[in-house]
Amino acid sequence: MNNKNIIRIIKIIISLSYCVIHQIPLAVLKVFNRKFPGTFVVLYYHEIKSIHKDNFSRQMAMLSKYSRPVRADSISFTAGEHRVAVTFDDAFQSVIENGFEAISNHKIPITIFVPTDYLGKQPGWEMNGDNEIIKEIVMTGEQIVKLPSELIMLGSHTCTHPELTGLVTEEIEKELRTSKDDLERLLGKEINLLAFPHGKFNSVVVSIALNAGYKYVYTIMPQFPKQNPESAIIGRTPVNPSDWDIEFRLKLSGYYCWLSLPGHIKRILNKFTIQ
Ligand SMILES: [Zn+2]
């Protein structure tokens, strides 16, 4: 077994343990005939390779069976309801080619985040050393305009897909404002969602994004399924069409949220170190 699969299995075991522990308060609520508090999970994909088309279709069937699919900006909580939003970063053509049928069959609203300088081109950014990704092609402007708006929302993924935390203020503003303007001109509607390329952000980036008119900004770290509904920063759980069923089911239910703990601890420690 390769290292990647060993790590996947370890993550599954931790998430299953978290799931078991989580069942205790749920059982108590049931005894008192109370509904569990509403929960919300946002998933994010990248490409859908043709060999994973059927697997992706099965994942969408699971999603509609075990949750209520909602738009990524429908951030509200209803007792007894588990809501899940599906997003895609990078706007690859393979998402529509291999995923649209399943999305449409199950009526699952999705949000696609577009790197606007790459329309119709291969990605020019590095992605975790994954050479497969460079075979993907970003949708053209024409393809984006034709997407059915009742099912597919669009958001910005900046212009050039940079690590925003490595840029100066003027460059961040240009990436966020120009991509927003370009998409709005193309679609003739307001764009107010942004996904950070490579998941890189800090308080300066968030503040520039909110000033530029974005309502919600999306990270690549899972969030706890019951988060502050007032927050503009939305965590997302990474999913892949090649995920095993148990892996996808646990992610779907929010049991991968513990993945964000190391980041939280690091931020708390940084605060103490700075003070
Ligand atoms: Zn990306």
Among positive and negative, which fits the CA dihedral 191, 130, 136, 6? negative
Please give the pLDDT value at position 7. Answer: 92
pLDDT tens digit sequence for 20-62: 887 777 777 777 777 777 889 999 999 999 999 999 999 999 9
CA 36 to ligand 1 centroid distance, Å: 34
DSSP conformational letter for 129: T
**Reported confidence tier of residue 192, pLDDT bands at 50, 70, 90:** very high
DSSP string, 187-241: HTS---EEE-GGG---HHHHHHHHHTT-SEEE-SS---SS--TT-SEE--EE--T
- Closest by CA position to 154, among listed 144, 164, 146: 144
Q: 88 CA to middle of ligand 1, Å? A: 9
Q: What pLDDT score was predicted for residue 137? A: 95
pTM tops 0.85, yes or no: yes
Distance 90 CA to ligand 1 centre (A): 5
The predicted-structure confidence for 62-113, as pLDDT tens digits, reads as follows 999 999 999 999 887 788 889 999 999 999 999 999 999 999 999 999 999 9
Rounded distance from Cα 248 to ligand 1 centre (Å): 21
Residue 239, CB half-sphere, CA atoms under 13 Å: how many? 35
Checking if the pLDDT of 194 tops 60, the result is yes
* Tokens 């059915």, residue located: 148
Q: Does residue 259 carry a pLDDT above 90? A: no
User: Beta 110-114 vs 82-89: how paired, if at all?
Assistant: parallel
Q: For the segment 133-151, what is each residue's pLDDT rounded down to a tens digit?
A: 568 999 999 999 999 999 9
Helix (H) or strand (E) holding 143: helix 141-146
Q: How far is the CA of 177 from the centre of ligand 1 (A)?
A: 17
8 A C-beta contact, residue 117 and residue 184: no
Q: What average pLDDT does the structure give for the chain?
A: 90
